[in-house]
Structure formats: C-alpha cells, structure tokens
Structure 1
Amino acid sequence: SHPDRIVLMPVMTGGMVFAADLIRHIPIKLSLDVVSVSSYAGAVTESRGARLKGALPTNLADRHVVVIDDILDSGQTLALIRDMVGEQGPASFRTCVMLDKSERRVADISADYVGFEIPDEFVVGYGLDYDGFYRNLPDIVALSEEHQ
C-alpha cells in the first residue's frame, strides 16, 4: 500500500500529547487529521456515551486509518470513531492507545497497538485530565480519591 494513503487520527484533547510524541518517531510519509470526541461529562468517571464534537474527516475512503488515543477504557469513544470511519470505506482501520484499562470495557472493541495495560484506577498526566486539569503533568499518575 502506498504511504500517501496513511492517515493518523489523534483523538483530541487527551490523545494530543501521546500522538505528538508518537508521530515524531514515524519516518514515513503520512497525513494527519484530528477528531474530537467527548465521553466524559466534567469529572464523572462513569461513561455516559461518546459523542462527536465537530466533523469527522471526510476523505478516508480507501485510506489506511490509524486512530491514536490516550486511554481505552469503556471503549465507547473508539467504537464510535470505528463505526463512523467505517461508513467511509477505509482500506484499513487500526487503533493505537497509550493505556488500556480493559476492566472498564463496555463496547466490543480492543486496541491493535497498546503501550501499557493498567488496572482500574483514575490516572492523570501526559494528556490525561481530571475535570480539565493535570494534562500538562510530564508523568502518568493515579489520582487518589481525596483529590477527585
């Protein structure tokens, strides 16, 4: 397959730090387009379903799409993106996540590429947030209950 058909699609906002570091290590021609999906309302940790914020890129037919996200927990975000990208007829669809928290999975999806599997703890830093804060921390840390 021709490299100009490769599209990396970071999920904003959480996936931006991981994606920025990752794509600098991919030495081939590719295009980059972002998608914004929300699956949390404020600081609530229980998933309330994923919803698209803005438009999905519309030039994905016959292209190799790799979605990059910070964490795969309930799976609703990646399942929504998979279904919407699938409607455009991509040549392939893959997912890459920094963290996989499989204990919380409710959607029928798994990541093709996983950095680390983690237990069911609330983590922040390196793009992961709590109520909009802590994304700028250089490390990933578990947030204690007293700080939630």
Structure 2
Amino acid sequence: MPENRSFSLLPLIAEEQIKNRIEILADQITSDLGFSDLVMIGLLNGSFIFLADTVRALHRRGMKIWVDFIRVESYGMGSESTGKVEMKYPLSLNIENRNVLLVDDILDTGHTLQFVTQYLQQKHPHVLKTCVLLDKPSRRKVSIQPDYVGFQVPDVFIVGYGLDYQYQFRELPGLFIVSFENPMSGRSS
C-alpha cells in the first residue's frame, strides 16, 4: 500500500470481544491438550499481544508455560504476502519431545504458517498445535488449517491488537479495518 494514501480506521472487533474469545480458546486448549506444561511460540511481530494474553489465560488455568519467539518475513513493508517466507529470528528453545503451541496473529495465504510448522516439525516436538487470532480462509493458497481460531474475518486489511500498518497501530486494544480513500471518487475502498 502506498505510504501517502489517506485512510480511516473502522471498528471490526472490540477489545472485550477479544478478551472473551481468548478465555474460550484457553478453555479449549486446556481441555484438548490437558498438559501441565506447554511451550508457546509466538510469531513476531504481530502475535506478541495475542500471545501474552493467551499465556496469561492458560496460566490462570494451571498450565506451566515456556515462551519463545520466531520471526519470519513474508510481507516486507507492504500489505500483501510475497509468498516467499524467510527465517529472520530462529527458535531458541529445545522443543524435542515437548508440547508446543505455535501462535500467530493472522492466517491468510498460509505460506507462513506452513513454513513455520514444517520448521518446527524438524525439531521433533511431542505435539505441535497452531493457534491464530484471525483467519482469512478466502485468501488461502496452501492447504493448512489452524487448530484454534480466534475469529474468522473477511479479506480486508486489519490493524490493532498487535497488527500494524507500516509499523503503526499495534497498540490499539481492538481490531480495525483500514479503509483507504479513493482519490478519484472521494469514497473509501
């Protein structure tokens, strides 16, 4: 997306809805996995707030959590996935024979989640599950489905709650659609 376009932010999912959904996800994860210990791996940068809130929700349910991060890149400075995923910051923890939950902010084409799950499988975890805050199934280019989904969303550009537009808006407590102004008509697109 060009830097100099004007845009507005339209509310999509409120902070309270996100909090409630995380509690439901934590119940599902605890019920399904039943583990007393879990390695949670956040995909940077967008997952950091979702990961932190999910870690705390699972901790309240008695889980002992280890946290690590991976950073891959498939977007660069743009808003469209390039389809080419590069490892920028690899895993630090040894996850061999460990129970692992990979946490990402958004699943769209699936290239990133597929790349990272294949990378983690090579580390021989006991169990590997995936959890995404947002799922855009209409954008899927590869056959991959997350184990846990916060919200299914339409194919729109979203910011807030860790997701950014040109390094801005990660701090917003809710999720918002970025609506770009069409300079030819004065209408949003």
TM over 0.5: yes
Amino acid at match of 1:7: V
What residue in structure 2 maps to residue 115 of structure 1? 150
What residue in structure 1 maps to residue 41 of structure 2? 9
Structure 1 contact 58–88 (Cα < 8 Å) conserved:
no
Structure 2 contact 85–111 (Cα < 8 Å) conserved:
yes
Q: Which one has the largest radius of gyration?
A: 2
Query: Structure 1: how far apart are the matches of 2:111 and 2:83?
Result: 9
Query: Structure 2: how far apart are the matches of 1:121 and 1:26?
Result: 30
What residue in structure 2 maps to residue 57 of structure 1? 92
Give, in angstroms, the shift of residue 46 of structure 1: 3.8
1:99 and 2:130 correspond: no
Query: Structure 1: how far apart are the matches of 2:139 and 2:35?
Result: 37
1:37 and 2:67 correspond: no
Amino acid at match of 2:175: I
Give, in angstroms, the shift of residue 10 of structure 1: 0.9
Amino acid at match of 1:136: E
Give CA deviations for 1:24-60 in whole Å, capped at 9, x if unaligned: 1112112111111111021232433221112223511
Query: Structure 1: how far apart are the matches of 2:35 and 2:136?
Result: 33
Which consecutive unaligned segments of at least 5 residues does structure 2 have? 1-33, 182-187
Which consecutive unaligned segments of at least 5 residues does structure 1 have? none
What residue in structure 1 maps to residue 55 of structure 2? 23
When normalised by structure 2's length, the TM-score is 0.72
SS at 2:120's partner residue? helix
Q: What is the count of residue pairs matched by the alignment?
A: 147
Query: Structure 1: how far apart are the matches of 2:175 and 2:99?
Result: 30
Amino acid at match of 1:100: D
Cα-Cα RMSD: 1.8
Q: Which has the higher contact order (CA 8 A, sep 6+)?
A: 2
When normalised by structure 1's length, the TM-score is 0.91
Query: Structure 2: how far apart are the matches of 1:47 and 1:100?
Result: 18
Query: Structure 1: how far apart are the matches of 2:79 and 2:157?
Result: 11
Structure 1 contact 41–48 (Cα < 8 Å) conserved:
no
Percent identical among aligned pairs is 37
Query: Structure 2: how far apart are the matches of 1:83 and 1:77?
Result: 10
Structure 1 or 2: larger strand share? Answer: 2
